[in-house]
Each structure stands twice: as C-alpha cells, then as structure tokens.
Amino acid sequence: MLDKSEIRRHRLGNLLQSILLILIMGMLMGYIALLLAGEWFALCVIGMVILVYLTTPALALSFVTRLYRCRPLDHDEAPALYQVLRLLSTRAGLEKMPRLYYMPSQMENAFTLGSRQDAVIVVSHGLFSRLTLEELAGVVAHEISHVANNDIKVMSFADITGRITRFLALAGCLLLLINLPFYVYANQVLPWWPILVLIFAPILADLSQLALSRVREFNADLGAAILLGTPTPLVAALVKLDERGASVYERWGLASRDPKNPSVLRSHPETKKRIERLLSLSPRHPLFVHSPLTDIARQSLSLDTKVFFQPDKPKWHRSGMWY
C-alpha cells in the first residue's frame, strides 16, 4: 500500500515548485519587456503570451509522427497493452482514451503528444522488445499522468515564455549596442543592472524551463505509482533501462550526446533520484511486490513485429534530436 503522507508531501512540493518556476519565468519576461518599452509594452507582451497559449494548438501530431516515422498501433496487435491502457485511462479520469502509436526505433523511448482531450502515446520498438508488459504498464502510466496533469499545456506555456524572453533579451542587447556610441559621446554612465539582466535572462529562462520539466517528470512518476497502486512496475522499468545506459523518458529526443550532463542541464531527473522517490512511497515493501496489473501482465505481449517497419538504430540529428 502506498504511503499517503509521502504522496501528499511529494504532490505539495511538486505543485509549489511548478508555481514558483512559472512565476519566475513570467516575471523575468515581464521585467525585460518593462526595461525595453515601459509598463504598457510589458502588459501587452504578457497578454500576447496568454493569448497565444490559449489559441495555439499543441505541436501538430502529424509533424512529429512523420518525423519519427510512427504509425497507429492496432488493438489486435497488442490487446493486453490496450487493456492496460483502458484501465489506466479510466483510473486517471480521462474522458477519451489516448491512442497508441508505434515508433520503429531501437532507442528505448516513449512520449506523449496532443492534449488531454486528444492524446497520443508513442512507444518505440526498443521498449516493446526490452520491457515486460508490467514494466511497459509503468511507462504507459507515466505518460497517462502527463496527459491527466495537462503537462503538455504547462510545458507549452513555459516554451512560449522562454522563447519570448530570449527574443526580448536579444532585442535589448542589440538596442544597447546601437545606442552605445551615444552613451559614450554624451559621457553617460551605463546602467549595469539592466545590462546584466539582458545578458543572463536567456540562461535563467532556460534553467527555469529545464527545472520545470524535471518537476513535472517527478509528478508524472508519482501519478504513475498512484494509478498502478504500486511504484514497482515503473521502478523495474527504470532499473532495467538504466542498466542498459538508456533513458526511457528523454522526451522529444532532446538528449545530450554526453550522458554525464550536470543535473541542472537535464530536462529529466537522474534515474537514481526517480527510483529513490518512487521507493519512498512504499518504504516497508520489497522492490518487487504484487501489482494490481499482475493478472494482465501474465498475458503475453502479442505484438506481431513482422508487420512493423524495420527498426532503426538511434541516430543524432544536428538539431539535437535523437530518433
């Protein structure tokens, strides 16, 4: 049985951290806009961000699925996995069950696209061939938690805010360079504080966005454990994939070519920290215990790989994407 006090503590911590990071990003963007053109411009920028966030749809499913050469996974190809998906979607309170897509890549990867009302969960060939059904259920539960928590929208807002912050900071630096001769000619002292803000704002925005991503990943791990009634399936999947040196949750393929990045530069927490947090939810239980999905997991993962594309080895694109 999960430790309810630990669940409440983690939930509250994740919520407060998310709110704080979003406020930091929003205030940073607003302050730079204020420096550039005053209060009205700052209000207009904030209003524009909110408008874009509310009116712009999520990243087109067709674009991402074409990029990764994904295709829909039929129910007949993986009936047991669909049974798991249906059960978890009901527990998460989703009105519409997410669709499953298959990605013909040997890289162990899974990610979510779309919105709460129309979500797609993409699972790679590497995960299908590497994980058991119960371990795969842990991965799917993690993705469903992202859908239920509207994490795609949250990270979309963070991305929009970060992009505008970087653009405004660049515009401010260019204006400063253009006006620098006039300051020198007029023998005026440059205001160093605004200059430092313009220089370091993009870095702070990026670090805040990465930190927010890590918090939402921790929250999705917590949600997966709650949906499954135990952290065991997700822990088992993380342990197995960590032994292989792979990260199952490097969403969008934004993984560094050097796996030894500092933790502050990662979009996802270190696997060890994920496992420690998951195990803290049921500290009195051994690692492998009975899961509510055990009966389903005993069924074979009837996946006819012959009908799939030939899986590719992981490749790195100059844009920074792994696929």
Residue 258 token pair: 């050097």
Active site residues: 143
Name the residue type at position 188. Answer: Q
pLDDT at 299: 47
Neighbours of 126 (CB within 10 A): 23
pLDDT at 304: 43
pLDDT at 196: 85
Name the residue type at position 167. Answer: F
| CA–CA dist 98, 89 (Å, integer) | 8
Contacts of 168 (CB under 8 A, 6+ apart): 29, 32, 33, 36, 45, 201
Q: Cβ-count burial of 305 within 10 angstroms (0-12 exposed, 13-18 middle, 19+ buried)?
A: middle
Residue 294 token pair: 């055990």
User: Residue 65 in contact with residue 122, Cβ under 8 Å?
Assistant: yes
Task: Convert 91-103 to b/e letters by CB count within 10 Å (16 or more is b).
Answer: bbebeebbbbbbb
Contacts of 79 (CB under 8 A, 6+ apart): 302
| CA–CA dist 143, 164 (Å, integer) | 28
Beta strand 110-114 with 99-103: parallel, antiparallel or unpaired? unpaired
Domain ranges of the chain: 4-315
N- to C-terminal Cα distance for the chain? Answer: 38
pLDDT at 100: 92
Residue with tokens 């994740």: 14
Label residue 38 left, alpha or beta by phi (over 0 means left) and psi (-120 to 50 means alpha).
Answer: left
Residue 263 token pair: 């933790």
Residue with tokens 């499913």: 61
Instruction: List the chain pLDDT tens, one digit each, 323 residues.
Output: 566 666 677 677 777 877 888 888 888 888 888 888 888 888 888 888 888 777 665 556 777 777 888 889 888 888 888 999 999 999 988 889 999 999 888 888 888 888 888 889 999 888 888 888 889 999 999 999 999 888 888 888 888 888 888 998 898 888 888 877 777 777 777 777 888 888 888 888 888 888 888 888 988 998 898 888 888 899 999 888 877 654 444 443 444 444 455 555 567 778 888 888 888 886 554 443 444 454 454 444 444 443 344 455 555 544 444 44
